[in-house]
Amino acid sequence: MAEPIPIRGGDAPEESRRPGRKSSGPYLYAALRDLIVRAELPPGERLSETELGDRLGVSRTPVREALGRLRDDRLVEVRPQIGTFVARISPAAVSDAQFIRESLECTAVRVSAELADEESMAQIEENLRAQERAVGRTDIDSWQLLDDTFHRHLCDLSGHPAVWPVNERAKTHINRLRRLSLTMPDYLSTMVDAHRAVADAVGAHDPDSAEAVLREHLRAVLREVPRIREQHPDYFEEP
């Protein structure tokens, strides 16, 4: 494992890497977070700041900035003078993340159902069609991106743009789990069906229904935990 890290979406940091420009920290943060979510950096993996810097073509300084944020997200564990490790999946952390996500998204979708306008619903409809196409191609990567966009649209519709970043950071723990469970093909179309049901309720300005359907949809993922834990016991915490 000494190869340069293949960055999703092309290796385009050449521009942002030059000094005197904008910080490359946020870029590295997003890239590393993606690698962790996709389990290309598996739970328990040791991360050397110097090695990461070499493989990413930057020095330790911006790498440390990214790792600091990942530590705030509890995605990596930094033990001084010992090392930095990709955090193992903690069922408690997943449960907490689920709690946060459910609280924020369900509250937001209630407001969104009241504020929904034609233009926003058209955007969401377009997203749903793209999801269906991705599922038709069994293109999990594309679908997961569209899924994120869908939920972000629902959130932003509430008129509180700061909510999504918070939700996203919590959601990462859930995405990490889901990444391991997205193997069954009919699972995907079930998700898209649920999305459409939520969108319909929002478009119909029905907060109660929207919240109920969304809550059920969000909890579906969590039910996969025991199965995944059996398949990848080494990805989970000891307790």
Partner DNA sequence: GTCCGGACGCTTGTATACTAGTATTTCTCG
Partner DNA sequence: CGAGAAATACTAGTATACAAGCGTCCGGAC
Which residues are bridge partners to 79 per DSSP? 83
Binding mask 32-71 for a copy of itself (x = CB under 8 A): --------------------------------xx--xx--
Query: Which of a copy of itself, DNA, none binds 50 (CB below 5-8 Å, type-dependent)?
Result: DNA
* Cβ at position 2, least distance to DNA in Å: 12
Termini Cα distance of the chain: 29
Among the listed residues 24, 84, 127, 158, the single contact to a copy of itself using CB under 8 A: 158
Strand partners, 236: 89
User: Are the C-beta atoms of residues 197 and 154 closer than 8 Å to each other?
Assistant: no
Q: Strand, helix or coil at 79? A: strand
Q: Pick between residue 78 and residue 100 the one whose CB is nearest to DNA.
A: 78
Please tell me the total number of residues recorded for the chain in this structure: 239
Regarding 84 and contact with a copy of itself (CB under 8 A), the answer is no
Query: Applying CB under 8 A, does 88 fall inside the site for a copy of itself?
Result: no
Instruction: For the CB of residue 30, give the shortest distance to a copy of itself in the complex, in Å.
Output: 13
Tokens representing 189 are 């179309």
Pick 9 or 20: Cβ nearer DNA: 20
Residue 102 Cβ, how far from a copy of itself at the closest point, in Å?
Answer: 8
- Report the site for a copy of itself in 162-221 (rule: CB under 8 A): 162-163, 166, 170
Distance (Å) of CA 62 to CA 26, 27, 30, 81, 126: 9, 10, 12, 19, 37
Q: Pick from 213, 218, 26, 18: which is nearest to 110 by CA?
A: 213
Task: Give the separation between CA 127 and CA 154, rounded to whole angstroms.
Answer: 11
Q: Rule CB under 8 A: is residue 138 a binding residue for a copy of itself?
A: no
Q: Which is nearer to a copy of itself, 97 or 135 (CB)?
A: 97
* Number of amino acids touching a copy of itself (CB under 8 A): 32
Q: Give residue for tokens 């340069």.
A: 4
Q: What CA–CA distance (Å, rounded) separates 37 from 169?
A: 12
Instruction: Give the residues lining the site for a copy of itself (CB under 8 A).
Output: 20-23, 25, 64-65, 68-69, 72, 74, 80-81, 92-93, 95-97, 99-100, 102-104, 107-108, 158, 160-163, 166, 170
